[in-house]
Amino acid sequence: MKNWTLQKKWTYSSAISIFLSFLTMCVILYFSLFNWMLISEKKTAQNTLNEVVQSLQSKGPFITIQDISRNRTLLNQIVNQKQSIRLLNKDGIELLRINDASNFPEYSKESSTEFQRDVINNQLVYHKVEELNFGTFSGFVEISHSLDSFSELMNYILIAMLIFAVISLLISALIGYSLSSILLKPIKELRGEMQRAKQHKFSEKVNFHYSSNDELGELLIIYKELMNEVSKTINRQDEFIYNVSHELRTPIQVVEGHLSLLNRWGKDDRHVLEESLIISLEEIQKMKRLMEEMLKLAKREHAEETFQTSILEVVKFLQKEYKLIHPKVAISMEINPDYFVTIQPTALQQILRNLIDNSIKYNENDPIITIEVTRNAKNMVISLADNGIGISSDQITKIFERFYTVDEARTKSKGGSGLGLSIVKMLVKEYKGEIDVESKLGEGAMFRVYLPYTTSK
């Protein structure tokens, strides 16, 4: 049964259950009918015996065969009911027999005065002996009531019940199969939906609908919630892989640049060697912090910490970094040293680095980038303007989408993936901030990042 389908199990179990219920009812009904009809046969035999005794006693002290034959009603009753009557003297010798339809047992002085059911010469009968006294006669009258009709009727009823039981088994199996097909149809559809989700790597939405408010409806709700969680987990995993690969490029480039410098001639200059090793170690530490931060973002498990990050220090660090990897990039700034924002330093570096990379990538001249910081009632406003090619109005709403690129041919030549601005928006949103952009084609772009702030440490 382990390899049976649920429909097969349901069909067999419902068929057997209905069959056993029907069979139990048939057994109870059969034995009830058997006992009721047996009692009825006993009453019929007792009534006949009473009428015979009464008839004989009413004839007085003298009675003849002609007197008995004149009682047609009683004789017809005895014949129709397949009964036999016999008169016995005190010694048990048979004197008279009326009708020979039913067999008698051998007489015995210990014969019971109650009805007994026996099989005599392969015939089932009820028999009883009763004392009889009228006139000078003293003896016994005995009745033998045939139960052949009773046996035939009970056999007929038994056969009919067995036939009905078999029919009920077939009908219950058909009903069970039909009901299981109807009731299991949503489960089969749900199974198909699960297989489809598996084939599409859980990226497809659940299209299965079931409106009934029952256990299956609850199961569908749980399944949809589970699928949403699985989909979110997969998306977070994909985001983590893409984001980490994207964000690690710059630190790796810095380390690679210093190692190349050392390999060419820097290893002979102690000052350059020391500076390159320090910067490389700083970049490695930064990569470690970046990995931790990206893991938190992927799991959505940001600790409720109050960060106080100096915007000026972060921008100075980026100036130094880009001076090494992009010497032609000019980054100017106008930042109050007392301006701090409530964001992880590595996260702010990621945001500004991606915006700077975007300005460099979409620029046909030597990049000039200006970073200014102002403050309003709620947020610090970090503005980053460039002299790049700008963004058309129909593309401004799409640039923060993952994998979207403004100029596909240009992006491929620059090695872009379309992830930078989507990471920026994700980070800003994680730290309860906002971002917007103003741009026109040929006039550069202005990005504004709004982040919660503290005035000083």
34: in domain? yes
263: in domain? yes
Which span out of 42-46, 254-258, 278-282, 299-303 was modeled with the highest average pLDDT?
42-46
- Average pLDDT for 100-128: 84
| 371 and 444 part of one domain | yes
Boundary-marking domain end, from 103, 127, 155:
155
* Domain at 379, CATH number: 3.30.565.10
| 28 and 143 part of one domain | yes
Which span out of 73-77, 194-198, 220-224, 306-310 was modeled with the highest average pLDDT?
73-77
pLDDT of residue 416 exceeding 50, the answer is: no
- Average pLDDT for 357-386: 92
| 334 and 245 part of one domain | no
pLDDT of residue 276 exceeding 70, the answer is: yes
CA dist 26 and 165 (Å) reads 8
Residues near 304 by Cβ (< 8 Å), separated by ≥ 6? none
| 285 and 330 part of one domain | no
| 225 and 322 part of one domain | no
| 120 and 77 part of one domain | yes
| 290 and 348 part of one domain | no
CA dist 158 and 154 (Å) reads 6
What pLDDT, on the 0 to 100 scale, is given for residue 75? Answer: 87
| 267 and 334 part of one domain | no
pLDDT of residue 32 exceeding 90, the answer is: yes
Residues forming a β-bridge with 123 = 120
Residues near 404 by Cβ (< 8 Å), separated by ≥ 6? 398, 418, 422
Q: What's the Cα-to-Cα distance from 226 to each of 165, 201, 222, 313, rounded to whole Å?
A: 47, 14, 6, 44
CA dist 342 and 454 (Å) reads 7
| 241 and 322 part of one domain | no
392: in domain? yes
Q: DSSP letter at 107?
A: P
| 295 and 402 part of one domain | no
pLDDT of residue 378 exceeding 80, the answer is: yes
What pLDDT, on the 0 to 100 scale, is given for residue 207? Answer: 66
| 17 and 139 part of one domain | yes
User: What Rg value do the Cα atoms of the chain yield, rounded?
Assistant: 53
| Cβ 293 vs Cβ 347: under 8 Å | yes
Boundary-marking domain end, from 121, 138, 155:
155
Token code pair at residue 230: 């699985």
Query: How many independent structural domains does the chain possess?
Result: 3
421: in domain? yes
Determine phi and psi for 377, rounding to 5 degrees.
Answer: -65, -30
Write out the residue range of the structural domain in which residue 268 sits: 216-299
| 251 and 338 part of one domain | no
117: in domain? yes
Q: pLDDT tens digits for 235-255?
A: 666 666 666 665 666 677 778
Boundary-marking domain end, from 128, 155, 182:
155
pLDDT of residue 181 exceeding 70, the answer is: yes
* Domain at 150, CATH number: 3.30.450.20
Q: What angle do CA 26, 30, 34 make, to 5 degrees?
A: 175
- Average pLDDT for 133-156: 87
446: in domain? yes
196: in domain? no
pLDDT of residue 371 exceeding 80, the answer is: yes
CA dist 68 and 196 (Å) reads 94
211: in domain? no
Amino acid, res. 283: E
* Domain at 289, CATH number: 1.10.287.130
